[in-house]
Amino acid sequence: MFRAMVPRAAPRSLLRPVGGAQSSIRPSAFYVLDRSRRGYATEAEEKDLVVIGGGVAGYVAAIKAGQAGLKVTCIEKRGALGGTCLNVGCIPSKSLLNNSHMYHSILHDTKNRGIDVGDVKLNLAQMMKAKETSVSGLTKGIEFLFKKNNVEYIKGTGAFTDEHTIAVNLLDGGETSVKGKNIIIATGSEATPFPGLTIDEEKIITSTGAIALQKVPKKMVVIGGGIIGLEMGSVWSRLGSEVTVVEFLGQIGGPGMDNEIAKLTQKLLTKQGMKFKLNTKVMGGDDSGETVKINVEAAKGGKEELLDADVVLVAIGRRPYTAGLNFEKIGLEADDKGRLVIDQEFRTKIPHIRVIGDCTFGPMLAHKAEEEGVAVAEFITKGYGHVNYGAIPSVMYSHPEVAWVGQNEQELKAADVKYKSGSFPFSANSRAKTNLDTEGIVKFLADAETDRILGVHIVGPNAGEMIAEATLALEYGASCEDVARTSHAHPTLSEAFKEAAMATYDKAIHY
C-alpha cells in the first residue's frame, strides 16, 4: 500500500525513513511523514498523466499510457482496482450466473442427457466464495500489470485543488497531492436510487447487494426489466426464489434490444419461472415489516396492486459518479444527467483534462469504457484515437444469452431506413441440437439496396461470444453475402450465424 511520501530534501525533523518488506522503494531514497507531527505530504514531481479512478476505463488508460513510456499515477478509492465491473458488477455477477445455471441444469436438465444424479444441494456460501476468488484474482492481476508498466497506484480519494493538482485522502490515513500535465477523470457510475425506497443492501438492494445475499429469498421483486435486473433476477430464480420483474416500458431489455428478440427472451424467461409485469409503474413501498410491500399500477393509470417480497432489487439504471471530485471548482461542466461534458477527443473545456467511461456520454458498458481508455491514451501520446460507437456490442448473460450490435428494427423504422431482415433458428443448427440447447434465433438487419449489415441480434446459446463476429463485420462494413460466403466450421453454433446471413441476402440452406 502506498503511503504519503516526500523527497529527501524535506525537513528531517518531520521525517522518518521508509522501510519494511512491503516497501519496494529504497529506504535511503524516500522518507515518510511522521503523522503525529503533520498529516499532509508535499507533492512529488509532476506526472505526465494522472488518472482519477481505477475502474475499467481508468486502469486501461493508465496501462496504455505506461506502455507508451509516460510517467503515470492512478488514484483509486475502493482499495481494489477494476471498479464496479470487477468488484461488484460484471465479473461477480457472471460467476453467479454461470454457477447458478449449472445448479439449475443439474436439477432440471440431466435426465434426457443420460445423467442420473443423487441428492443435489445448494451451498450458497461456497458459491459466493467462488465468486470472490474470481474477483480477487483479477484485481490482483491488474496490480501486477500496473507494476509491469510502471504505473504508480495510490489508494485514496482524489479531489481537484487546481487545474493540475489532485489532493488525495489516503485510505491508510493522511493525505498527499499529485500534479499532472494531463489528467483523466474516470470515476464511473453508481446505481440510480428509487424515490421513496431506502437502499440498505439487505431488503432493498442494488446490484451490489444482489451479488452478496446470504440466503435465497422466497420472493424477490425486481424494479426494472433491463439487463442488470434480468441477469440478477435469473440468478435468484434459478436458486429457488419466486421472481417478479416490474417494468415501466412495454418490453424487457431496455431500448437497445430488438422488439422481436425482447418478446422471445421474455417468453423463454417466463418458461423458466420468472414473472413479468410490463407497462407497470411502482408507486411506492413500505419496508417497515418483515417483508417489503410494493405498490404498483398500470403505467397509464389503473387499479393499484400490492406486491409482497422478501427482497426488492432496484435496477432502474445507473448514473455518473463524481461526488467529492470538486470539478466545479476548476470550472468543469456537467449536463442535466450529471455527465461531464467533453468534445470528440474526450477533452473538457480545460484541454489537458479529459473524461472517459460511465461519468460521461455513451452506453455504460465496461468494454465501451475500455475502448475509450485506449483511445484517450493514444490522443495524449500520439495526437489521434478512435472509438466506433456504432459498433459497441451489448450482452445479457441470461440463459439463453442475448446479444446485439448495431441498429435494431424499431430504430430503422423510426429513421425511415429501407432494410431487409433474415433469421435462422438454433433449432435447425446441428450443434445446438446435439447439445440439447436449441432455443433462440440469429437475426440480421441489412440495407435493402447495398446488403451492408446494419445490425445483428441473437438470443441463444453462446450469443455473447458469437456477437464478436457480428461486431467485426459491422466494423469493416461487411455485407450479409460477405458473411454467408465465409466458411464456418461444422458442426458449430456459429453456422447459425452464417445461415442467418444467407437468409438475409438469399436463402438459408438448412431451414
375 assigned ligand-binding residue: no
Active-site residue, 490 included: yes
365 assigned ligand-binding residue: yes
247 assigned ligand-binding residue: yes
226 assigned ligand-binding residue: yes
List phi, psi (to 5°) of 38.
-160, 145
Across-strand partners of 200? Answer: none
Contact in structure between 347 and 185 (CB atoms under 8 Å): no
Contacts of 328 (CB under 8 A, 6+ apart): none
158 assigned ligand-binding residue: yes
Grid coordinates of 322: 463524481
317 assigned ligand-binding residue: yes
E-strand ranges in 186-279 read 189-191, 204-205, 219-223, 242-246, 275-277
390 assigned ligand-binding residue: no
CA end-to-end span of the chain, whole Å?
A: 60
- For helices 124-148 and 56-67, the axis angle rounded to 10 degrees is 30
350 assigned ligand-binding residue: no
240 assigned ligand-binding residue: no
Annotated active-site residue in 108, 386, 490, 510: 490
225 assigned ligand-binding residue: yes
224 assigned ligand-binding residue: yes
Instruction: Tell me the helix, strand and coil percentages in the chain, rounded to 5.
Output: 35, 25, 40
409 assigned ligand-binding residue: no
3-state secondary structure 87-128: HHCHHHHHHHHHHHHHHHHHHHCCHHHCCCCCCCCCCHHHHH
Identify the CA nearest to 357 among candidates 15, 24, 59, 112.
59
364 assigned ligand-binding residue: yes
Grid coordinates of 333: 461542466
**How far are the Cα atoms of 402, 433, 509 from residue 491, in angstroms, in the given order?**
21, 10, 14
**Grid coordinates 435468484 are at which residue?**
236
Identify the CA nearest to 448 among candidates 411, 416, 404.
416
Contact in structure between 372 and 64 (CB atoms under 8 Å): no
188 assigned ligand-binding residue: yes
Catalytic residue IDs? 490
Residues annotated in a binding site for FAD: 94, 158, 187-189, 358, 364-367
Residues annotated in a binding site for NAD(+): 224-231, 247, 317
Residues annotated in a binding site: 94, 158, 187-189, 224-231, 247, 317, 358, 364-367
